[in-house]
Chains A and B, each alone.
Chain A
Amino acid sequence: MSQKQYWSDLQDLNNIATKKEGAENEFKEELPFDLSDSVLGATTPRRDFLKFLGFSTLAATIVSSCEMPVRKAIPYAIKPEDITPGVPNYYASTFADGGEYCAIVIKTREGRPIKIEGNEMSSITKGGTSARVQASVLGLYDKARLTHPMADGKEATFEAIDRAVKEGLAGKAGYLVTPSLMSPSTKEVISQFIAKYPTVKHVVYDAISYSGMLQANEACYGKRTLPTFHFEKANTIVSLDADFLGTWLSPVEFSKGYAQGRKISAKNPKLSKHYQVEAIHTITGAAADERATCRPSEMGMVAVALYNAVANGTQPSLSSPALNKLVTAAAADLKKGNGMVVCGTNDVNVQTVINAINDKIGANGTTVNWVTTSNYKQGIDKDFADMVAAMEAGQVGVVMLHGVNPAYDYLDGKKFTAALAKVATTVSFAERLDETAQKCKYIIPDHNYLENWGDAEPKANYYSLQQPGISPLFKTRAFQDSLMAWMDAGQTYADYWKLYWTTRLSGQANFDQALQDGVIEPAGEMANGGAVYAGNIAGAVAAIQAKKPGTGTEVVVYQKVGIGHGGAWSNNPWLLEMPDPITRATWDNYLCVSPKRAKSLDAELTGFTEVDYNKRVAKIAGANGYTITLPIVVVPGMHNDVVAVATGFGRDKNVGRAAASDATKGGKNAYPFTSFNGTNVEYYSGVTVTKTEDKYEVAITQTHNSYENRPVLHEFTLEEFKKDPHALQKERAEEIGHYSGLPWEKHEHEGEAVANPEMEDNYRKNGTLYPTHLSEGVKWGMSIDLTTCTGCGACVVGCMAENNVSVVGKYHVLRGHEMHWIRIDRYYSGMPDDPDTIQTVFQPMLCQHCDAAPCENVCPVSATNHSSEGLNQMAYNRCIGTKYCANNCPYKVRHFNWMDWNGADCFEDNIFEDGRRDDINDDLTRMVLNPDVTVRSRGVMEKCSFCVQRLQEGKLAAKKEGHPLKDGTVKTACQQACPTDAITFGNVNDKESAIHKLRKEEQVERTFYVLEHIHTLPNINYLSRIRNTAEVIAGNEKLDGMYTEHI
């Protein structure tokens, strides 16, 4: 076992008073208890008590004397044949947001989409999802969506706009701007449109550009496209600034592949080796085995050093020893074969070098696939810059913008807006009145993707069909329909699309099958092959070396895992309240800085103490004069000269209530910090950061729950694990191994630790005076693999969607009232001063469904009790809100409804409103609620139920068919959402089940239970984290200034 010390946040090291107080204080605010001695002097004296008593009696009487309301049961007038009320229907479809792709299945109830699942038939995303995919269903019911077409800011008819646009199009030079499009039929429509209006050009613009990569590939391999990265085949993965598990290109696909190389067991102790060089701290960096940091402007040099080390064996001489060491080791591993290098830098020269490395190590054709190429991104930065120049010059008559928002996310939004004003006919297809749509003359809102037909070709010859889950809610029109109306096509896009696919698939039967499956894929394994490298490596290296790395502070413009590039996601309350995996902050963006840097900005106290939400505000001034102020959030693992700001914040008020920003809320726009180097947009720039005296509250959830330094994690290096796979079990045996008899009986192995299979059962029996529970039939159990968990948060949002988990808003997150049933705890280890030593572990934490649950014993009304299936049950209607259970829960997974979040109780005007989260209670938005799960009212406790509604449904289906429950037919929402399959769930009593085999055969060595020694007997086990690294970095006070200071 490593001598690692984990700290959930910096004050853990620091151990300062506020943290201690915070940990001891169960509830984050002052409780209205009166502890004064004299009864009469109390703040609630006898008379008040009598008043309250009288009021409650009166209220109860009035409420009870109310008549029962007359309720109506309204059936369908004409019942659609395929809908049975109460039974969900599932439709395979496609999620495509710009270049982000996921094959999905829409779950609808009575015709309303209520949940998105991954489509397991897709060989690309393989049933995985991301937080954004999970949250996209909420976007359908977004109140900020436009409900009708508009001309000059007023409601207009489609016909009137069509006439005007057709006039505007006639003979004028025009541009159609879209994000990367994967849809073959849409591309076909666009090419027909351009054939009709030859003066119109199609420009692809991506908010987050991959232009450098596309251009490098064109130069090196003659195709302007992206390869397919086979992470599952890679033994060595080197990532330079590519957050491929969080935000880079296709995180769901990559997570699925990556996780395959991270599945380790004692029988097969193999792990892929993952090197990460990055400027900031991403979840990919947290997953990495070896990690080093550098400035973003140095990334090119790192690539060159790696190339030289691989090609010539040259020793690197980079800015830090850690980098040199990492590059040397990575080069050695890459040369062993089955390696892969990916790079997130949007610079054509750096990407050329990366291509050269992949070519040198023979990755092309094995881990990097140039035959089945990816269509995720197609935007070229120069095209858009040229367009803006043409608009500025007044040469453009028409601009049509679909799915893009350059006024907000272009590096110079003001310039774009000014240029747009010079265009006579401007058309937007935006679904909301975003920053760009406001400036357009005509707005023809597009359907939401859940209302629309469509398709996608994410990879060459891999197709995915998109079918709607609901009829359009508003007076909107598909973007393609608008184009077809203007070219007088005489048919709708839906008809065109259907004809397109029935023709392509030769026949209705094939089409029906494809629509049902959702994907059309070639049989067998994905075609793979290399390409002949013909890049100018010398030129690229020279260009990189000519560009000296910066010296001052650099700001990195990064995407949050939840919010991404912005767009509709900025107004998604589920995503806004999902804690960022690394910072654990919600609802805002902020300035990420390293601890050392924070100290120099005098942000130490507020920055380190996540208990203290009131953060010091810093002023960030860009080279282009763009200056903003943002609160400082300290992130260990950030390069000391780098600060970072997330995109997607600082939105206009018309984007939506949750997104709207001003001085007091909603963060700031980060895009103006990006810069254009003549070829590509760079997502970093030099800035000056100065402290101010202001403070700003950031709602961080990390410290809301404390284990008071009890160990909850187990981590090993691969070497340690190989040498002694049983180390963990020995350690467990030390805790629980001596319970071979009752406590007063003599033990055979007194004091000595022997791991044996009966250990758990003996401990269960003898560790308590109470009788043990018998579970006849079914007993549910879950296992979470800490090695494959990347902390991406898909489970958190999936759980919110499935279980109607309330959004509480920033103010209440600040008070520790967030309601997430599953949270992902983040633990650091290493030395705060040195970002290269920081190692990060995620631990999803949810109700452990203890068989000897401490919460059950203390409930005075038995509202929480144990089921024969091993579930820790929570009966909301019985709960009287004493909160004893939450107090007694060692895992801190119970959440109390302090407010009426959703209007679930019978009192009117009782609902909590804060101005930002309120749209979630709109009649429209409430359509997303799962009708099988109670919406909890104020004053009751709630927590993870293991998705009991799914368990009941699965058992019922088995009973109806008359066979025992089959393993794998019942999945919890978190398990289904997980893109790395880190969660296993099933019936432990079933000897054939995956969970039983995992615990008893495959992963015996890695299995542990959190806080096992307090005899809670959890039904969730964890698998230890194995890191493929030579050494465990422990804190060292001799080397680390901050460490010494705080220990």
Chain B
Amino acid sequence: MFRICFRSVLSFFVVLLLCNVPAIAAPDGKALFMSNCASCHNPIKESTGPALQNISKTFPSKEWGYKWVRNSAALIAAGDKTAVDIYNKYNKTQMTAFPALTDEEIDAILKYADDYKAPSAAPKEGAPAAGAETAESHSWLYTVITLSLLLLVVILWRANNSLRRAANEKQDIPNEKEIPLYRSKVMIAVTAIVLFILAGYWLVNGAVNEGRQQNYQPLQPLYYSHKVHAGINQINCLYCHAGAEKSRQAMIPSSNVCMNCHKQINEYTGEAEHPLVTAEGKKINGTEQIQLLYKYAGWDPSKKDYNRDANGNILATPIKWVKIHNLPDHVYFNHAQHVAVGKVQCQQCHGNIEEMDEVFQFSPLSMGWCINCHRQTEVQFTNNNYYSIFTRYHEELKSGKRTKVTEAELGGLECQKCHY
């Protein structure tokens, strides 16, 4: 049985590997489509531009298609009839030119569109995991064994005591008067001290952790999954959090940033691969959440346009997110310093955000945590000319006296680096 299993798995991998060989060489149509086309085209639905499935069949020629993609404006200007017709059909919206795409890449995109199938809506039931349960039962077993062993020790000790007393009686040695445990001074003293230490430990720990909220995972007004966006769809963090490189604030995107993509993407189609579930286990309908976004953004999906007031201003309401990462008012933290200068990855402080459906606070955000990182982190010292003024460190690096310069050595532990 085991062998058969092993063999089939092995052959499966081999097949998979073989399948992948040509895929590595050829352009990845899906990725290209996602990065270049998806904001205006859907494979099977009309949006800003036409649906791309089988669109190549409507082209006069293959070459015409390449020309169109690379620079449609030129074709229109040249008075090409097909081109002008398409231009007029789609409200004279100019298609963005992609002069950098090669013929193969354009073919790959079109092939991806042609082969695209709408994902089935019914999610598959995942098999429940069993590993966790065994681990739990083990620890229970250990507790029982420890407790029984402790009980055994007590019983033996009592038995030993009784035997000794009996022996003493036999030899007429007077026994010490037996004092019950709860009246033993030693016992009371030890208990008091232990309790005092425990209480102190608890109090100090509680006080130190006051205001900290590691693992805080509040319910948000809109179920936004970082896993779907940053993980599955590989959207760069900085696309939405554009402030991270420029400002102290990373910036929560305004709803019009969401709408850059969600004008086209009006339903959640990943139900099958990745069903959305809250931490409490409640199922979430992704498409409903997108509709909710439309409400906030003031987008009317039926009109495919924003609702506007008399002055032409979009009637949008901001989304009142619950703030997860809270620093006290007297702490100054600057994202740009860490992301742009320090080249710290987002995940280092925020955890594997691309795997979180609902974000929780990964790091303690305590001062000790900050300071520790400043102590250990090596500064990008030699490749940023700003640090050229630290001549002594540079000499020491050159002479091999030191191998790195940490943030702490540049004053990264000083109060007024963060408190002012």
Asked if A and B bind, the verdict is yes
Write the residues of chain A forming the contact surface with B, with a CB cutoff of 8 angstroms: 64, 68, 70-79, 84-87, 776-778, 865, 867-869, 871, 873-878, 904, 932-935, 945, 948-949, 952, 955-956, 958-960, 962-965, 989-990
Q: Whose C-beta in chain B lies nearest to the C-beta of A867? A: B414
A74 touches B416 (CB 8 A): no
B318 touches A75 (CB 8 A): yes
Complex-state Cα separation, A73 to B322, whole angstroms: 6
A777 touches B323 (CB 8 A): no
Name the one of A877, A959, A962 contacting B419, with C-beta atoms under 8 angstroms: A877
A948 touches B416 (CB 8 A): yes
Q: Is B166 an interface residue (CB 8 A)?
A: no
Complex-state Cα separation, A1003 to B320, whole angstroms: 58
What would be 17 A-B contacts, judged by CB atoms less than 8 Å apart? Answer: A71-B326, A73-B252, A75-B253, A75-B255, A77-B314, A77-B316, A776-B390, A777-B387, A865-B414, A877-B419, A933-B420, A934-B420, A935-B329, A952-B334, A955-B386, A956-B337, A965-B386
Complex-state Cα separation, A73 to B325, whole angstroms: 10
For residue A777, which residues in chain B have a CB less than 8 angstroms away from its CB?
Answer: 387, 389-390, 410-411
A64 touches B251 (CB 8 A): no
Within 8 A of A (CB), among B230-250: 242-243, 246-249
A867 touches B256 (CB 8 A): no
List the 9 closest pairs (A to B, CB-CB), nearest first. A86-B247, A77-B316, A73-B323, A79-B254, A875-B415, A86-B249, A76-B254, A75-B252, A868-B411
Q: Is B58 an interface residue (CB 8 A)?
A: no
Name the one of B256, B336, B389, B420 contacting A778, with C-beta atoms under 8 angstroms: B389
Q: Is B119 an interface residue (CB 8 A)?
A: no
Query: Which among A68, A871, A958, A959 has the greatest number of chain B C-beta atoms within 10 A?
Result: A959
Q: How far is the CB of B26 from chain A (nearest CB, A)?
A: 39
Within 8 A of A (CB), among B198-215: 206-207, 210-211, 213
Q: Is B388 an interface residue (CB 8 A)?
A: yes
**Assuming A78-B316, A867-B414, is B386 touching A73 (CB within 8 A)?**
no
A934 touches B419 (CB 8 A): yes
Name the one of B218, B248, B297, B420 contacting A948, with C-beta atoms under 8 angstroms: B420
Complex-state Cα separation, A68 to B207, whole angstroms: 13
Complex-state Cα separation, A75 to B340, whole angstroms: 22
A958 touches B414 (CB 8 A): no
For residue A85, which residues in chain B have a CB less than 8 angstroms away from its CB?
Answer: 243, 247, 249, 251
Q: Whose C-beta in chain A lies nearest to the C-beta of B321? A: A73
Q: Whose C-beta in chain A lies nearest to the C-beta of B328? A: A877
Q: Is B12 an interface residue (CB 8 A)?
A: no
Complex-state Cα separation, A777 to B410, whole angstroms: 8
Within 8 A of A (CB), among B384-415: 384-390, 392-393, 410-411, 414-415
B341 touches A960 (CB 8 A): yes
Q: Whose C-beta in chain A lies nearest to the C-beta of B248? A: A86
Complex-state Cα separation, A355 to B331, whole angstroms: 60
Contact with A along B286-320 (1 / 0, CB 8 A): 00000000001110000000000000001011111
A776 touches B392 (CB 8 A): yes
Complex-state Cα separation, A965 to B206, whole angstroms: 43
A72 touches B321 (CB 8 A): yes
For residue B246, which residues in chain A have a CB less than 8 angstroms away from its CB?
Answer: 84, 87
A71 touches B323 (CB 8 A): yes
Q: Whose C-beta in chain B lies nearest to the C-beta of A955? A: B386
B384 touches A64 (CB 8 A): no
A76 touches B414 (CB 8 A): no
For residue B254, which residues in chain A have a CB less than 8 angstroms away from its CB?
Answer: 75-79
For residue A989, which residues in chain B have a CB less than 8 angstroms away from its CB?
Answer: 389
A79 touches B206 (CB 8 A): no
User: What DSSP secondary structure best describes chain A's contact surface?
Assistant: loop
Q: Is B332 an interface residue (CB 8 A)?
A: yes
For residue A776, which residues in chain B have a CB less than 8 angstroms away from its CB?
Answer: 390, 392-393, 410
For residue B218, which residues in chain A have a CB less than 8 angstroms away from its CB?
Answer: 70
For residue A933, which residues in chain B have a CB less than 8 angstroms away from its CB?
Answer: 420
A949 touches B420 (CB 8 A): yes
B416 touches A875 (CB 8 A): yes
- Given pairs A956-B334, A964-B388, 12 additional interface contacts (CB within 8 A): A64-B206, A75-B319, A84-B242, A84-B246, A85-B251, A875-B415, A877-B328, A878-B415, A948-B416, A949-B420, A952-B420, A955-B386
Q: How far is the CB of A558 from chain B (nearest CB, A)?
A: 39
For residue B330, which residues in chain A have a CB less than 8 angstroms away from its CB?
Answer: 876-877, 934
Complex-state Cα separation, A856 to B266, whole angstroms: 61
For residue A76, which residues in chain B have a CB less than 8 angstroms away from its CB?
Answer: 254, 318
Q: Whose C-beta in chain A lies nearest to the C-beta of B384? A: A962
A84 touches B416 (CB 8 A): no
Complex-state Cα separation, A877 to B332, whole angstroms: 12
**Assuming A85-B243, A868-B414, A964-B385, is B321 touching A74 (CB within 8 A)?**
yes
Complex-state Cα separation, A874 to B389, whole angstroms: 26
For residue B393, which residues in chain A have a CB less than 8 angstroms away from its CB?
Answer: 776
Q: Is B417 an interface residue (CB 8 A)?
A: yes
**Assuming A73-B252, A77-B254, is B322 touching A964 (CB within 8 A)?**
no
Complex-state Cα separation, A867 to B256, whole angstroms: 44
Q: Whose C-beta in chain A lies nearest to the C-beta of B240? A: A75
For residue A955, which residues in chain B have a CB less than 8 angstroms away from its CB?
Answer: 386
Q: Is B257 an interface residue (CB 8 A)?
A: yes
Q: How far is the CB of A958 from chain B (nearest CB, A)?
A: 5
For residue B316, which residues in chain A have a CB less than 8 angstroms away from its CB?
Answer: 77-78
A960 touches B323 (CB 8 A): no
For residue B417, which residues in chain A have a CB less than 8 angstroms away from its CB?
Answer: 952
Q: Whose C-beta in chain A lies nearest to the C-beta of B341? A: A959
Q: How far is the CB of A117 from chain B (nearest CB, A)?
A: 20
Query: Which among A75, A76, A932, A960 has the greatest number of chain B C-beta atoms within 10 A?
Result: A75
B415 touches A867 (CB 8 A): yes
Complex-state Cα separation, A71 to B324, whole angstroms: 8
Q: Whose C-beta in chain B lies nearest to the C-beta of A877? A: B330
B314 touches A78 (CB 8 A): yes
Name the one of B210, B211, B242, B386 contacting A958, with C-beta atoms under 8 angstroms: B386
Q: How far is the CB of A988 from chain B (nearest CB, A)?
A: 12
For residue B420, which residues in chain A have a CB less than 8 angstroms away from its CB?
Answer: 932-934, 945, 948-949, 952
B414 touches A873 (CB 8 A): yes
Contact with A along B318-359 (1 / 0, CB 8 A): 111111001011101010110011000000000000000000
B341 touches A72 (CB 8 A): no
Q: Whose C-beta in chain A lies nearest to the C-beta of B420? A: A948
Name the one of B243, B253, B319, B321 contacting A84, with C-beta atoms under 8 angstroms: B243
B341 touches A990 (CB 8 A): no
For residue B332, which residues in chain A have a CB less than 8 angstroms away from its CB?
Answer: 932, 949, 952
Q: Whose C-beta in chain A lies nearest to the C-beta of B412? A: A868
Complex-state Cα separation, A876 to B297, whole angstroms: 41
Complex-state Cα separation, A989 to B242, whole angstroms: 35
Name the one of A71, A778, A865, A877 contacting B322, with C-beta atoms under 8 angstroms: A71
B416 touches A945 (CB 8 A): yes
Complex-state Cα separation, A956 to B335, whole angstroms: 11
For residue B256, which residues in chain A have a CB less than 8 angstroms away from its CB?
Answer: 77-79
Q: How far is the CB of B384 from chain A (nearest CB, A)?
A: 5
For residue B257, which residues in chain A have a CB less than 8 angstroms away from its CB?
Answer: 79
Complex-state Cα separation, A70 to B330, whole angstroms: 18
Q: How far is the CB of A792 from chain B (nearest CB, A)?
A: 27
Q: Whose C-beta in chain A lies nearest to the C-beta of B296? A: A77
For residue A71, which residues in chain B have a CB less than 8 angstroms away from its CB?
Answer: 322-323, 326
For residue B320, which residues in chain A have a CB less than 8 angstroms away from its CB?
Answer: 72, 74
A68 touches B255 (CB 8 A): no
Q: How far is the CB of B396 from chain A (nearest CB, A)?
A: 11
B336 touches A956 (CB 8 A): yes
